[in-house]
Amino acid sequence: MRELKSSTGIMHLNGRKIVTIGFLCTCMLVGIQGEQLDCSVDCACCKGGQSRCGNDPIRNNVCFDGCIPTKYGYKCKNPCWGNCFTCEQAYGLDCYTCKDSFYDISNRCTKTCSNGCQGGVCEDNGTCECYENFKGPKCETCVSGKYGTNCSQDCLYSGCRCTAKYDCDSCRDGYYDLKSNCSKVCSVGCVNGICYDNGICNCSRNFTGTLCTDCIPGLFGRRCDRVCYHKKCLCSSEFNCIHCKPGYFNITNNCLFACSSGCDNICEDDGSCTCKLHNTGVRCDVCESGYFGNDCSHECGIKDAQCLNCDRSGAVCHLCANGYYPNTNGSCILCGENCIGGVCNATNGKCSLGCKSGHWGARCESACNTNCTTCAHFSGVCEHCTSQEVHGLFCNMTCSKHCLGNVCDRDSGNCFKGCIKDYYGPQCDNRCSDTCKAIGEETTCDEVGYCFNGCVNGYFGDDCRAEPYEMTQTAKSEQKMGQVDNDEEEYERITVGQCYENAVK
């Protein structure tokens, strides 16, 4: 207001000038297109100006075309109620439009558009186009990290939403840990980069871990979009295996091996794990005694009733019930029938108490030799032979048939009674020479083969094996009939040996 017109009272009280604004005079000044209009003047605020003012049949100074905005009544002296820009003209009852920067027509535009609204104007529901740094449907809040009536000031803590510089009301999207003034940044693996105040978030594809900071097994890279070369590895770069995917182990082998099916859960990098029931061993790859199957859930006895401990397939028994042992195909069979008491080692079938008489071998599976009284359990060596006609440890070698009486020494096989006629040697396996002279039915040579009675004619030597004479070259040649060569030398016939006749008595 530039000046107060006469309708406004100016009182002087105790020397001070006090401006009094009467009820009817309130807001009489209206600025229209830069001009100030004093609506207390009749027809000053008629639409179209004073020229559109006149008398009608019942009243004077009627505005024919109604009032300029913000006024109503027939002389347009009354301001629209509230912040209405245009209102019903007779009594100002209805509000038609709001003044700039106000909204909510139905409540006479009592609400003010937000500071953030561009040009200060907004829709009747308060929504507007925001100035920079403002947000919200009514641009009523500052973007994260800004504060102030103009949202132009930065919060001290960049991760915070604030209403004053040092405040930290809540964390901006992408930040967490309010108590540290939102100093922590949500993982890139969080959906939309948003996390809860403890950093936990929903993981984006390819991320994992409580804070979504890890790549799912087999991928690597900041965005977890690169593939490890070794499919069973968690890697930090293409070829660098740092852990195994759950379910695999042995990093040095790029996680080539699967954890045992006996593991209750995933296994460590060395394959160790906690075992499922009935599985055992550091890697849980062994069944507890008595169980078999991939997960050791079957009792050995269901395949083979007598089996107490078997291999993983259940097919090969390692330990049988008393009285049984695993045979070569792995099934439990009765201990050897020749085991004393029918008892044997349940693992290997060895007869625990030895063999029944006449049997030998670890499982007493061998019979003692037929010519043996009883034999040693483990060697089969005979204690006594049933006859002297056999010899050897096992009494299974027949004495030489040239032994006198067919009998021989057990150990050596020597014919201890001597030899039959015309044989000699310890085991009588040599025949006396045919050239020994025979007398009656007596044997012709002694135990070293010397002839008892001399030699037949023409032979000599102790054993009469020397020929009576040796033929010279000539003698031999003479035998060749029709020989024409007369130049050949005549050789003396050498006769040796005759004098030795009867030399041996």
Residue closer to ligand NAG (CB basis): 30 or 316: 316
- DSSP state for residue 184 in the 8-state scheme: E
Q: How far is the CB of 126 from ligand NAG (least distance, A)?
A: 8
Asked if 271 is part of the footprint of ligand NAG (rule: CB under 6 A), the reply reads yes
Site residues for ligand NAG, 217-246, by CB under 6 A, read 219, 223, 225-227
* Residue type at position 129: E
* Max Cα–Cα distance, the chain, nearest Å: 205
Among 369, 427, 430, 444, binds ligand NAG (CB under 6 A): 369
Mask: binding to ligand NAG, 17-46, rule CB under 6 A, as x and -? ------------------------------
Stretch that binds ligand NAG, among 17-25, 78-86, 368-376, 418-426 (CB under 6 A): 368-376
* Residue type at 260 in one-letter notation: S
Q: Is the C-alpha dihedral spanning 460, 463, 466, 467 positive or negative?
A: positive
CA 249 – CA 258 distance, rounded (Å): 6
Q: What are phi and psi of 39, to 5 degrees?
A: -70, -10
> Between 366 and 453, whose beta carbon lies closer to ligand NAG?
366
Backbone angles phi, psi at 99, to 5 degrees: -65, 155
Is the Cβ of residue 268 or residue 478 nearer to ligand NAG in the bound state?
A: 268
CB 9 within 8 A of CB 20: yes
For position 255 contacting ligand NAG by CB under 6 A, the verdict is no
State yes or no: residue 279 binds ligand NAG (CB under 6 A): no
Between 168 and 235, name the residue whose CB sits nearer to ligand NAG: 168
Binding flag, residue 106, ligand NAG (CB under 6 A): no
DSSP annotation of 319:
E
Footprint of ligand NAG on residues 377-416 (CB under 6 A)? 380, 387, 389-390, 394, 396-398
Contacts of 433 (CB under 8 A, 6+ apart): 444, 445, 449, 451, 459, 463, 464, 465
Whole-angstrom distance, CA of residue 205 vs CA of residue 217: 12
Q: Is 195 in the site for ligand NAG (CB under 6 A)?
A: yes
Sign of CA dihedral 480, 482, 486, 492: positive
Q: Cα 15–18–24 angle (5° rounding)?
A: 150
Site for ligand NAG in 453-492 (CB under 6 A): none
CB of 474 to ligand NAG, least distance (A): 54
206: left (phi over 0), alpha (psi -120 to 50) or beta: left
Minimum gap (Å) between residue 374 Cβ and ligand NAG:
14
- 126 is written with which tokens? 């308060």
Touching ligand NAG, residues 124-143 (CB under 6 A) = 125, 127, 137
Taking the least distance from each CB to ligand NAG, the nearer of 156 and 471 is 156
* Whole-angstrom distance, CA of residue 68 vs CA of residue 31: 10
Phi, psi of 297 (to 5 degrees): -95, -5
Is 168 an interacting residue with respect to ligand NAG (CB under 6 A)?
yes
Q: Which two tokens stand for residue 183?
A: 């100093």
Query: How many Å apart are CA 303 and CA 306, to the nearest integer?
Result: 9
- Cβ at position 284, least distance to ligand NAG in Å: 14
Dihedral pair phi/psi, residue 178, rounded to 5°: -55, -40
Under 8 Å between Cβ of 364 and 377: yes
Q: Binding-site residue total for ligand NAG (CB under 6 A)?
A: 48
- What is the distance between the alpha carbons of residues 216 and 233, in angstroms, rounded to a whole number? 10
Does residue number 370 form part of the binding site for ligand NAG (CB under 6 A)?
A: yes
Judged by CB under 6 A, the residue of 32, 164, 205, 378 near ligand NAG is 205
Cβ 242 to ligand NAG shortest distance, Å: 14
By CB under 6 A, is residue 114 in contact with ligand NAG? no
Residue of 91, 96, 196, 378 that binds ligand NAG (CB under 6 A): 196
Q: Is 150 a residue that touches ligand NAG (CB under 6 A)?
A: yes
Q: Segment near ligand NAG (CB under 6 A), from 84-92, 187-195, 295-303, 464-472? A: 187-195
Residue 434 amino acid letter: D
Residue 187 binds ligand NAG (CB under 6 A)? no
- Report the amino acid identity of residue 300: C
| 263: Cβ contacts below 8 Å, ≥ 6 apart | 273, 274, 275, 276, 279, 283, 284
Is 201 an interacting residue with respect to ligand NAG (CB under 6 A)?
A: yes
Q: Of 5 and 205, which has the nearer Cβ to ligand NAG? A: 205
CB of 145 to ligand NAG, least distance (A): 14
Task: Give the contact letters, 313-352, x = binds to ligand NAG (CB under 6 A), - = no.
Answer: --------------x-x-x-x-----------x-xx----
Please, what sign has the CA dihedral across residues 82, 85, 89, 93?
Answer: negative
Q: Could you list the residues that contact ligand NAG (CB under 6 A)?
A: 123, 125, 127, 137, 148-150, 152, 166, 168, 180-181, 191, 194-196, 201-202, 205-206, 219, 223, 225-227, 250, 252-253, 270-271, 327, 329, 331, 333, 345, 347-348, 369-371, 380, 387, 389-390, 394, 396-398
